[in-house]
């Protein structure tokens, strides 16, 4: 039997969450929100991906505070207004699809906030263009020539921590089954981990123990109020000599497990323009393997995974427990169906689609295709 189409239970204090297969739709920023609110774009996008055959769908990076968004068009979950919009669009999307577990990625962009959307350049916005004050562990800009962020003090750090806690409560209230804390790609919590962005001289900077302190505090605060499936997305390496690396990541993952972390979603890079990424198929998978072996945590592997047999091989070799895809699902929203056809798996699908497959692939739905009169 295909491991990709074998169920997996994610543990949690609440009793765990069983996924019908090991395919995870990784979070993908859409830049289609208005004042942090989900829009009809999200209704269409989410309903489409909930019909994809994946075992778990992850909502894009969602700002826990207004200033924590990457762009002014990013999704948010910081007040009753943003909660109501997200809850409405998600509930409507879920009515149009099989019962698929949903995860949400809660995020704060740190010094990479206040940026233009990608197709408008993606660079830091000036105040006259609608930009806002950004924050980081140290007053160090992401790129040379950019305005530096404001170095966070104790009050600012506590506000951010509370933002994560409040957003987790809101997500739980709307029935989202899992939460992923974003600590990757050069955003705030990754900035604290990396000596490239964190050059503080207090208890939150300097050595490894100090740099992991605030991310661990945020995770512990969320775990204290949320007993569902809770994981974290991590950049396993900065791809810069002498900076954050996979060995530190593995040790950090051990600390997270002790705090009740249920999974690690293993990515890399994003904190420095000096990064030298060895790009290619499976280029991040070995990081997932090392973190899995060292920490004992369930891991999600991502990174140029596009073929069903490639995904299956990652699981068969024990390098990861789940496989995440993002761009592949944007290009082919029924990737899960194609994988099932290739590997002999079965997926859930809305009966409206039962007639859509060619006859040789009809077993994907576990049903005989419905004919017409």
CA 363 to chain centre: 31
Q: Compute the mean pLDDT over every residue in the chain, rounded to the nearest whole number.
A: 95
Contact status, residue 70 vs residue 24, Cβ threshold 8 Å: no
Which pLDDT does position 369 carry in this prediction?
46
Largest distance between two CA atoms of the chain = 75
CATH number of 8-365: 3.20.20.70
Give Cβ neighbours of residue 171 (< 8 Å, ≥ 6 apart). 77, 104, 106, 179
Per residue in 70-111, pLDDT tens?
999 999 999 999 999 999 999 999 999 999 999 999 999 999
Which pLDDT does position 368 carry in this prediction?
44
| Helix axis angle, 285-295 to 246-258, nearest 10° | 40
Which pLDDT does position 371 carry in this prediction?
47
Answer yes or no: is pLDDT of 373 > 70. Answer: no
Is 187 considered catalytic here?
Answer: yes
Answer yes or no: is pLDDT of 367 > 90. Answer: no
Per residue in 43-72, pLDDT tens?
999 999 999 999 999 999 999 999 999 999
Contact status, residue 186 vs residue 235, Cβ threshold 8 Å: yes
Give me the residue spans of the domains in the chain: 8-365
- Bridge partners for 44 per DSSP: none
Answer yes or no: is pLDDT of 349 > 60. Answer: yes
Distance CA 319, CA 13 (A): 25
Of 187, 204, 226, 331, catalytic: 187
Which pLDDT does position 8 carry in this prediction?
98
Per residue in 273-292, pLDDT tens?
999 998 899 999 999 999 99
Contact status, residue 367 vs residue 354, Cβ threshold 8 Å: yes
- Provide the pLDDT confidence category of residue 370 given band limits of 50, 70 and 90: very low
Per residue in 167-189, pLDDT tens?
999 999 999 999 999 999 999 99
- For residue 200, what are the CA distances in angstroms to 72, 194, 220, 360? 28, 11, 22, 61
Give Cβ neighbours of residue 141 (< 8 Å, ≥ 6 apart). 111, 124, 147, 148, 149
DSSP letter at 360?
G
Contact status, residue 184 vs residue 233, Cβ threshold 8 Å: yes
């Amino acid at each position: 039997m295909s491991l990709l189409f074998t169920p997996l239970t994610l543990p949690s204090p609440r009793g765990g969450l069983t996924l019908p297969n090991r395919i995870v739709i990784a979070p993908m920023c859409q830049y289609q929100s208005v004042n942090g609110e989900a829009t009809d774009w999200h209704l269409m996008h989410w309903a489409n991906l909930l019909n994809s055959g994946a075992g778990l769908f992850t909502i894009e990076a969602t700002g826990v505070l207004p200033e924590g968004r990457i762009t002014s068009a990013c999704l948010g979950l910081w007040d009753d207004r943003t909660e109501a919009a997200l809850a409405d669009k998600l509930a409507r999307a879920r009515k149009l699809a099989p019962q698929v577990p949903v995860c949400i990625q809660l995020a704060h962009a740190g010094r990479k906030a206040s940026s233009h959307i990608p197709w408008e350049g993606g660079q830091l916005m000036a105040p006259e263009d609608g930009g806002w004050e950004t924050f980081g562990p140290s007053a160090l800009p992401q790129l040379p020539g950019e305005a530096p962020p404001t170095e966070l003090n104790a009050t600012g750090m506590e506000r951010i921590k509370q933002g994560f806690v409040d957003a987790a409560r809101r997500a739980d209230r709307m029935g989202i089954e899992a939460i992923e804390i974003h600590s990757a790609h050069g955003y705030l919590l990754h900035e604290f981990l990396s000596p490239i962005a964190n050059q503080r001289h207090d208890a939150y900077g300097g050595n490894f123990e100090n740099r992991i302190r605030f991310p661990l505090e945020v995770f512990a605060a969320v775990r204290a109020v949320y007993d569902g499936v809770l994981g974290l997305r991590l950049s396993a390496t900065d791809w810069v000599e002498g900076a954050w690396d996979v060995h530190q990541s593995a040790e950090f993952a051990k600390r997270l497990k002790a705090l009740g972390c249920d999974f690690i979603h293993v990515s890399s890079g994003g904190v420095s323009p000096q990064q030298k990424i060895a790009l290619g198929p499976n280029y991040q998978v070995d990081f997932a393997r090392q973190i899995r072996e060292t920490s004992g945590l369930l891991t999600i592997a991502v990174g140029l995974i596009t073929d069903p047999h490639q995904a299956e091989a990652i699981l068969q070799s024990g390098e990861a427990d789940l496989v995440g895809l993002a761009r592949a699902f944007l290009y082919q929203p029924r990737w899960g169906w194609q994988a099932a056809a290739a590997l002999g798996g079965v997926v859930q699908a809305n009966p409206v689609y039962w007639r859509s497959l060619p006859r040789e692939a009809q077993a994907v739905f576990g049903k005989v295709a419905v004919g017409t009169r």
